[in-house]
Structure 1
Amino acid sequence: MRSMLVKMVLGCSLSLVFFFPNIALSSSGETTGTDRVIVEITDKEGNKETKSIPVDEVQPKSTFRISSSMRDQINILQPDYIRTIDMAQTTDKYTKSWSVNRVGTEWMKSKIASNDEEVIVAVIDTGIDYTHSFLRERMIDGYDFVDNDSDPMDEHFHGTHVAGIIVESTTANIKIMPIRALNHSGNGYDSNIAKGIHFAVDNGASIVNMSFQGNEYSEHLAQAIDYALSKNVLVVVSSGNLSDDTANYYPASEEKILVVSATDQTDQIASFSNTGHSIDISAPGVSVVSSVPGEKYAALHGTSMAAPYVSGVAAMLMLEAPTSSIKEIEKTLKTYVDDKGVTNWDPLYGEGILNVSNYKKYSLISSAVSASDYINLPEHSNVPLDKKWTILFNQVFSDDSTIAVKLYTENYEIPIKLTPNLANKKIMVAPIENYQANTDYLLEIQVKNGDKYLMRFTTK
């Protein structure tokens, strides 16, 4: 009778146990930096589901190793790491931030043609106070992946501040999608952030702004970012606030996305800003005034404040060029910068500090290229910054005034140096100063009483 009872109890136990591979635990019994793991559950029909569960549910002290042919199998993918934001002060009164003028968004907004199109920026953060009078006209439906409901109200303040920067920096047809993936303490699991990315992409967002960081690389989060990029959704992230190398943080170390460092009122890199090889561009991140919950405003510091300036400008570029790829938008963004630090790209400022104060809807390049009375020559890309052009002719000219040559970029004519060699039927053309990196140029050639030519080229 006793032997029979043992078999029955053991049989019941086996029917409740799944197969769990080992996972490394710290001395406290938790995975490093988190108390949850991301697992893939496969049922007996072969259907797979990815979930986040507490680590103590997948590795009890004693685990039976049994066949999973008749039961669900759980495969541990990775720890469910936690991303976080930093804290800052608040103030009750709204005043226009210095950073708006530094970035030049008021000028850009004045040059954006009004139309019926909309661009959606998803703010994956602590949620947003969508009732705030500064924001509510710009809000669209979002989601709360912390509480798993459709009410992404901000129980912190960070996400509301980030959203306010985008709202102030953009025209009325840039909409904000609030996605709550970080809790009231400013911390959030990768699993919820990844869900937020998928939700944003699947519900029409063109840009995802993520102003948070974590120490560990996350394959799960990287796959979600790849999903966004595959759908032509731009991902903008802050570099982090620990005066460290972005290589030590994620997603700041991800080179496939736009990573933003922070500058101060003197155009210096903020003392707290992370920098490194992944930095693409910089923007103001010190004493930036924006909205916080409860009809209040705050002057906050952080690379979290720099990233939404880039997201906002990118959204307006998309409004103007809705068929552009995210690579084209990124390239255009990097032309509207003030180059600081060493010439061209550097690991502090990236390509430079974002500045769209010279933005105009119709550039000389655009209008010239569309002219029907010009002959368009083949375009060139990856042109060296010190390139000299040689213009060859099929006849000898006695007077170099017969040939008129001009060089343009965006809305400006660039000073050039011409070196005629008319006896050999050619003219050498070079700018007085080197070209800017990642910039479109137009070379215009007019022959007196003859043809007119245009050649477009882009620098490295």
Structure 2
Amino acid sequence: MNKLLKAIHILSLTALLAASLTACGGAPLAPGMAHQQSDFGGISGQPAVPNEFLIKRKGMSYLQSPQEFAQANGILFIREIEALGVELFQVSDPAQLEALKDQFDYAEPNYLRHLSIPAQSGVQQQSVFQRQSAEAGATLPAGNNYIGIIDTGVDTSHAALAGKLIAGHNTLGQADVSDDNGHGTYLAGIAVGSDGSQQLNGVLPGGKILPIKALDRNGIGTDFSIAEGIVLAIEYGAQVIVLSATGANQSQALTAAIDHANKHNIPIVVPSGNAMDAASVFPASSRGVISVASVDVRGQSAARFSRPGQNVTISAVAQGIRSTLPMHSFNLQRMGISNGYGQLETPGASAIQVAAAIAAIKTMNPGIRLAEIRNKLLAAADDLGQPGMDAQTGGGRLNMASVARNRGAVAAQAAPRAPQPVGYGTYPQPSYPQRAAGYPQQAPQVYGQQAYPQTNYGAYSTPQRRAY
């Protein structure tokens, strides 16, 4: 049975099972969680952009440009990531892919990934570990090892981030990296922010942030926008990358982007996830990332929202962390957060601290390889719970003072290539007569007590292909 027929067979059986459950009094799927068709008609509980597929072609098909390939096969070319050999197409009927299957290595839906921020617990106290980490981090060099944050953008006008931001890029087809959600700005402040007082000191105040806006105001992005963000962050000089968006399905394109970073000796740091959003495990489950668990405000055990996992490497405090928030209006204000400064409980808070530590480690140890970076992180961790590695906190809680104590000689570094101007080349834009008007109208998904409405990707402008 070929792949398409097998997938359709599974689809039919699933539909029959769902009908049987309903007839027997079984509860139907909650609104917004209905299964959608995915690659070759398979089953997926993870939303995807309607009719969009990520395709990696092979063999003789590469003799055609993506535009020629699309025109010859009745599909629409949207954009490509040349470094990965991945192209984004709009396909009105997935059956078209079956006819073309011999011409590509894989085809998969353009899945959506989201920030998974738990309902806030109301913890108001500031963690003593934030101050201690900042004091140790102030003694550490950061050099030119920029921290790439692939997230919702950053408020580039924030005074506490002045002089600490490198020109980044927006992969959603918009003009700048301004943060209309709040999460990206919050992470940036944890890493490098400083307001001239004892109230806000980043864990690596000498560091610099390279913001890549790949998630919209609702904290939602696509596998394409995120994979492109990873490639661009590397191209612009990031030496460690933080990615907080998550989802249920694995993605070959996103895995290829992670592998691309690893080949360039650039770690991808991700939070282990939100225990209230248990199905969303990728990319934290990938072997190519450093997965970071969250520790509570006391620094003694895993936070209530931290998702355990066998792939957890290390942990960091993610409660009681005061940081920067946009000075303008932003979406997370609906959680009762003010402009300028505040506290969030987000798994991303732990990941960004580990990324800052890696930036310092790479500066102090030029040419250090990924495996050695992992070992140095674990050597700088305070073991929690049972001795040794565990699924809750990995090898222990990050200790920036230990990172500082283990410092070595710092060699001179050449500055990375200057970032390219934000913008796109002069490649002709394709037309999109079949592009969906938006996602199916569904109730928002809820993680804990916080709702995340689906975003309308059908309305975003399609940028021209940028010139690499």
TM-score range, shorter chain: 0.5 to 0.7
Q: Structure 2 vs 1, CA of residues 359 and 258 (structure 1 numbering), >3 Å: closer, same or farther?
A: closer
Task: State the alpha-carbon separation in 1 of the partners of residues 98 and 204 from structure 2.
Answer: 60
Match of 1:436 in 2: none
1:297 is matched with which residue?
341
1:139 is the counterpart of 2:165:
yes
TM superposition shift of 1:101? 3.1
CA distance in 2, matches of 1:184, 1:300: 16
- Contact 1:170–1:316 under 8 Å retained in 2: no
1:256 and 2:288 correspond: yes
Contact 1:212 1:240 (C-alpha < 8 Å) held by counterparts: no
Indicate which of 262, 265, 268 corresponds to 1:235.
268
Residue identity matched to 1:133: A
1:175, CA displacement in angstroms? 1.3
CA distance in 2, matches of 1:86, 1:67: 36
The alpha-carbon deviation at position 243 of structure 1 amounts to 4.8
Which is greater in Rg? 1
| 1:81-127 deviation digits (Å, cap 9, x = unpaired) | 1111134789xxx996544135x2412422x36x8x32111000011
Q: Are the equivalent residues in 2 in contact too, given 1:208–1:234 (CA < 8 A)?
A: yes
What is the match of residue 80 of structure 1? 110
Alpha-carbon distance, 1:305 to partner = 0.9
Is the 8 Å Cα contact of residues 108 and 360 (structure 1) preserved in structure 2? yes
- Which residue in the other structure is 1:349 paired with? 393
| Counterpart AA for 1:189 | T
**Aligned residue pair count:** 331
Question: Does residue 182 of structure 1 match 2:241?
Answer: no
Q: Which residue of 1 aligns with 2:184?
A: 159
Give the C-alpha shift of residue 361 in structure 1: 5.2
Residue among 334, 342, 353 paired with 1:309: 353
Say yes or no: does 1:328 pair with 2:369. Answer: no
Residues of 2 paired with 1:64 and 1:135: CA distance? 47
TM-score by length of 1: 0.64
Q: Specify which structure has the higher proportion of strand.
A: 1
- 8 Å contact 1:245–1:276 — kept in the other structure? no
Task: Quote how far apart the aligned CAs of 1:218 are.
Answer: 1.0
Would you tell me which structure has more helix in proportion to its own residues?
2
Other structure's SS at 2:154 match:
coil
Q: Secondary structure at the match of 2:186?
A: helix
- Which of 136, 140, 150 is the matching residue for 1:124? 150
* 8 Å CA contact retained: 1:39, 1:52: yes
Counterpart Cα distance in 2 of 1:185 and 1:297: 20
Q: How does 1:291-440 map to 2 (within 5 A)?
A: 291-294=324-327, 296-360=340-404
Q: Helix, strand or coil for the counterpart of 2:242?
A: strand
* CA distance in structure 2 between the partners assigned to 1:187 and 1:68 by the alignment: 30
Candidates 307, 313, 319, aligned match of 1:286: 319
**Distance in 1 (alpha carbons) for counterparts of 2:230 and 2:311:** 21
Query: Unpaired segments of 5 or more residues in structure 2?
Result: 16-34, 39-43, 67-79, 81-85, 194-201, 328-338, 410-468
Q: Which runs of 5+ in 1 are unaligned?
A: 1-20, 368-460
Q: How big is the shift at 1:41?
A: 6.3
How far apart are 1:150 and its partner, in Å? 5.0
Distance 1:192 1:66 in 2: 27
- Greater RCO (Cα-Cα under 8 Å, separation 6 or more): 2
Q: Work out whether 1:107 is the aligned partner of 2:171.
A: no
Residues 140 and 342 of structure 1, relative CA distance in 2, 3 Å threshold: same
Question: CA 1:323–1:208 in 2, change beyond 3 Å: closer, same or farther?
Answer: same
Please tell me the residue identity of whatever aligns with 1:80: N
Aligned residues of 1:40 and 1:77 also touching (Cα < 8 A): yes
* Letter of the structure 2 residue corresponding to residue 83 of structure 1: R
Superposition CA RMSD, Å = 3.4
Does structure 1 conserve the Cα–Cα contact (< 8 Å) formed by 2:56 and 2:105? yes
- The corresponding residue for 1:212 is 245
Tell me, in whole angstroms, the C-alpha distance in 2 between the residues paired with 1:226 and 1:68: 24
C-alpha distance after superposition, 1:235-293 (max 9, x if no partner): 100111125768x6100111232100101123221111111100000101123211111
Q: Secondary structure at the match of 1:101?
A: helix
